[in-house]
C-alpha cells in the first residue's frame, strides 16, 4: 500500500479502523514532496510543521471516534485562497510577502473539519493562464511528462495530486482553471455552479466567473470535498442560499433514464484524433451504463464564448486589480519622486506581462466610448450563451464534451502566442460564462499523455454530473493509473 496514493475515502476507512494515523499519512505525503518536488515544482509554500501539528490534533480527534471524512487527510490549497498566517502569493511578485490576517471561508471549513494543510500550490499569476507558465516564481511540470505543462491556472494543485504529493487539492476556476489541469494531469476536477461555494477570501480575478472547487483522485472524493466546502455564506453576496445535499448519496452506478447530449461545436477544428477517439469510447461507455445519448445537439453560439470571455474576464480583472497600488498592501515601489511614479513603478515591477495584458485589455473595453461596443456586446453574447444552455437542458440532463482539444503541450510551446494559449480553454470556458457546474475526469491516454472528458450539468445539478462520472469510474480504471516520476 502506497500511503500517499490513497484516496480520501480509503484513507478515512484506515483511520477509522486504526490501521493508519494522520501523522503517518502526513509524513508519507511530506516525504513524497521532498522526493518529487525538485522535478514537479507544484508548491509555492510547504507548511510541514503546521501539517504535522494539525495531523497530531486530528489523531486526537480520531481517537474519540467522532470525526469527519476529511479529518486528518493531507491536502494543498491553490495560492489564491487566503490562509491566516500563511503566505498567499497568487504566484505574483505583487503579493510575494502578503500574509493574510484572515482565512477564506473554504479554509475555515477545512479547518473546522480538521483537515491537514501541506502547503500552498503554484498557479498562473492571479489565475491568468492555462499552463502555469505565468507564475512569477517558476513553472510547474506535468507529472506524466516533465517537459510538458500541467495546465492552468490550477496547475500546481492538479500536479500535486497527480504526483501523489497530496491526497487532494482545492483549485479555482474562472474559465476552466480546475478542469483543464484536471484533464492534463489525469485527475478529477469539479467546477461547482456559480454561487454554490463561497468566494470569500479567494483573491478576485473575474468575480462573476470565479468559483472554488475540488481536485481529487476520484469522484467519490470530489463529492466528499464538495460536501465540506459548499453552502451559503453571508460574506459572499453572490453565494446562493440553497440547502446543500449530501453529494455522496447520488453516487450510484445506474444511468438509466438519463439523457445526455453531445454538442457538435465542441468537436473543434484542430482537435487531436486520439482525443476524439477517447471521447467516443467514453460516450459509448455511458450508453452501456444506461444513459440515452443524443449525438446531434447544437449550441451555435459556442464559438463566440472565447471572445466574450476575453472581454468580460479582463474587464473585471482590471477593476479588481486596481487595489494593488503600492499603498494598501502588497509590493510597494519605494524609490519614487512622486505618488504617480510610485504607483506606476509598483505596477510595472509587481505584475507580470500576462497580468498587464489583461489589465490593458480590460480598461480599454470598459473605457468611455468603447464600453458599448465591447463590454456591453460581450454581456449580450453571454446572455445568448446562457439561454442556449437553458434550452438544451430542457431536453438533456447533462452534456458531454472533451476537456481540451489536445493533450498537454510542451513547456514554452505557446508562451509567445497568447491567442494559441487562450484557445486551450475553448471547451471549458463557455461553462463559466453560463455559470454552470462541470466536471473533468480521466478518460484515456495518447502516448502516455492524459485525455480528459467534461460533463456539464444544469445549474445546481452537481449530483447529476457526479452520478454520471462516478458510474463511469466504476467501470473504467483510467483514474487509477498513476504517473511515474
Ligand atoms: N485560462 C483562462 C484565463 O487565462 C482561465 C483561467 C482561470 O480559470 N482562472 O483566463
pTM: 0.98
Catalytic residue at 177?
yes
Q: Is 129 in the pocket of ligand 1 (CB under 6 A)?
A: yes
Mutate which of 126, 177, 204 to test ligand 1's pocket (most atoms within 8 Å of Cβ)?
Answer: 177
- Out of 177, 198, 424, 440, the active site residue is 177
Q: Is 171 in the pocket of ligand 1 (CB under 6 A)?
A: no
Closest atom of ligand 1 relative to the 174 alpha carbon: 8
- Residues across the chain: 485
Mutate which of 78, 134, 155, 174 to test ligand 1's pocket (most atoms within 8 Å of Cβ)?
Answer: 174
The C-alpha atoms of residue 351 and residue 234 are separated, in whole angstroms, by 32
Where does residue 132 fall: left (phi above 0), alpha (psi -120 to 50 degrees), or beta otherwise?
Answer: left
Closest atom of ligand 1 relative to the 172 alpha carbon: 9
CA of 206 to the centre of ligand 1 (A): 9
Distance of CA 250 to the CA centre of its chain: 22
Beta strands in 234-327 (DSSP E): 259-263, 292-297
Beta strands in 328-422 (DSSP E): 398-402
The C-alpha atoms of residue 15 and residue 114 are separated, in whole angstroms, by 13
Here the cell at position 214 is 475540488
CA of 174 to the centre of ligand 1 (A): 6
The C-alpha atoms of residue 467 and residue 465 are separated, in whole angstroms, by 5
Instruction: State residue 211's pLDDT score.
Output: 98
The answer to whether 282 touches 400, Cβ cutoff 8 Å, is yes
Q: If one looks up domain 3-257 in CATH, what number appears?
A: 3.90.1300.10
Catalytic residue at 18?
no
Distance of CA 324 to the CA centre of its chain: 24
CA of 152 to the centre of ligand 1 (A): 7
Contacts of 334 (CB under 8 A, 6+ apart): 342
Closest CA to 324 of 167, 205, 456: 205
The C-alpha atoms of residue 48 and residue 123 are separated, in whole angstroms, by 20
Question: Given strand 74-78, what is the order of strands in its sheet?
Answer: 43-46, 116-121, 74-78, 168-173, 211-216, 188-191, 438-446, 449-457, 398-402, 259-263, 292-297
Tens digit of pLDDT per residue, the chain (485 long)? 999 999 999 999 999 999 999 999 999 999 999 999 999 999 999 999 999 999 999 999 999 999 999 999 999 999 999 999 999 999 999 999 999 999 999 999 999 999 999 999 999 999 999 999 999 999 999 999 999 999 999 999 999 999 999 999 999 999 999 999 999 999 999 999 999 999 999 999 999 999 999 999 999 999 999 999 999 999 999 999 999 999 999 999 999 999 999 999 999 888 999 999 999 999 999 999 999 999 989 999 999 999 999 999 999 999 999 999 999 899 999 999 999 999 999 999 999 999 999 999 999 999 999 999 999 999 999 999 999 999 999 999 999 999 999 999 999 999 999 888 998 999 999 999 999 999 999 999 999 999 999 999 999 999 999 999 999 999 999 999 999 99
Domain locations in the chain as residue ranges:
3-257
The answer to whether 171 touches 178, Cβ cutoff 8 Å, is yes
For 250, the 3-state DSSP assignment is coil
- Sign of the Cα torsion 204, 205, 208, 209 reads negative
Instruction: State residue 270's pLDDT score.
Output: 87
The C-alpha atoms of residue 315 and residue 324 are separated, in whole angstroms, by 16
Amino acid at each position: 500500500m502506497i500511503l500517499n496514493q490513497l484516496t480520501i475515502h480509503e484513507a478515512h476507512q484506515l483511520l477509522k479502523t486504526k490501521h493508519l494515523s494522520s501523522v503517518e499519512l502526513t509524513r508519507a505525503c511530506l516525504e513524497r514532496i521532498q522526493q518529487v518536488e525538485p522535478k514537479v515544482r507544484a508548491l509555492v509554500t510547504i507548511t510541514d510543521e503546521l501539517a504535522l501539528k494539525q495531523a497530531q490534533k486530528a489523531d486526537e480527534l480520531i481517537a474519540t471516534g467522532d470525526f469527519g471524512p476529511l479529518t486528518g487527510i493531507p491536502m494543498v490549497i491553490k495560492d489564491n485562497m487566503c490562509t491566516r498566517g500563511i503566505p498567499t502569493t497568487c504566484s505574483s511578485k505583487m503579493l510575494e510577502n502578503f500574509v493574510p490576517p484572515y482565512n477564506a471561508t473554504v479554509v475555515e471549513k477545512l479547518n473546522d473539519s480538521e483537515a491537514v494543510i501541506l502547503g500552498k500550490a503554484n498557479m498562473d499569476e492571479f489565475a491568468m493562464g492555462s499552463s502555469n507558465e505565468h507564475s512569477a516564481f517558476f513553472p510547474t511540470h506535468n507529472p506524466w511528462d516533465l517537459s510538458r505543462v500541467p495546465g492552468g491556472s490550477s496547475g500546481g494543485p492538479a500536479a500535486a495530486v497527480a504526483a501523489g504529493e497530496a491526497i487532494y487539492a482545492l483549485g479555482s476556476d474562472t474559465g476552466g482553471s480546475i478542469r483543464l489541469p484536471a484533464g492534463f494531469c489525469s485527475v478529477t476536477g469539479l467546477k461547482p455552479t456559480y454561487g454554490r461555494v463561497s468566494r470569500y477570501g479567494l483573491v478576485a480575478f473575474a468575480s462573476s466567473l470565479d468559483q472554488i472547487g475540488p481536485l481529487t483522485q476520484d469522484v467519490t472524493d470530489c463529492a466528499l470535498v464538495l460536501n465540506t466546502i459548499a453552502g451559503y455564506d453571508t460574506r459572499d453576496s453572490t453565494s446562493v442560499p440553497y440547502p446543500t445535499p449530501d453529494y455522496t448519496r447520488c453516487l450510484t452506478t445506474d444511468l438509466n433514464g438519463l439523457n445526455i447530449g453531445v454538442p457538435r461545436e465542441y468537436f473543434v477544428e484542430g482537435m487531436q484524433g486520439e482525443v476524439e477517439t477517447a471521447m467516443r469510447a467514453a460516450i459509448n461507455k455511458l450508453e452501456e451504463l444506461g444513459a440515452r445519448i443524443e449525438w446531434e445537439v447544437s449550441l451555435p453560439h459556442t464559438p463566440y464564448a472565447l471572445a466574450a470571455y476575453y472581454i468580460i474576464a479582463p474587464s473585471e480583472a482590471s477593476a479588481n486589480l486596481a487595489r494593488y497600488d503600492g499603498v494598501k498592501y502588497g509590493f510597494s515601489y519605494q524609490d519614487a519622486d512622486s505618488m504617480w511614479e510610485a504607483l506606476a513603478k509598483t505596477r510595472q515591477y509587481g505584475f507580470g506581462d500576462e497580468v498587464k495584458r489583461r489589465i490593458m485589455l480590460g480598461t480599454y473595453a470598459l473605457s468611455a466610448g468603447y464600453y458599448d461596443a465591447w463590454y456591453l456586446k460581450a454581456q449580450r453574447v453571454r446572455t445568448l450563451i446562457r439561454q442556449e444552455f437553458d434550452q438544451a437542458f430542457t431536453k438533456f440532463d447533462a452534456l458531454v464534451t472533451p476537456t481540451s482539444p489536445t493533450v498537454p503541450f510542451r513547456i514554452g510551446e505557446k508562451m509567445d502566442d497568447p491567442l494559441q494559449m487562450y484557445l486551450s480553454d475553448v471547451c471549458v470556458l463557455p461553462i463559466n460564462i453560463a455559470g454552470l457546474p462541470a466536471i473533468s475526469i480521466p478518460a484515456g491516454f495518447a502516448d502516455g499523455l492524459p485525455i480528459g472528458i467534461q460533463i456539464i450539468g444544469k445549474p445546481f445539478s452537481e449530483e447529476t454530473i457526479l452520478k454520471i462520472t462516478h458510474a463511469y469510474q466504476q467501470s473504467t480504471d483510467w483514474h487509477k493509473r498513476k504517473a511515474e516520476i
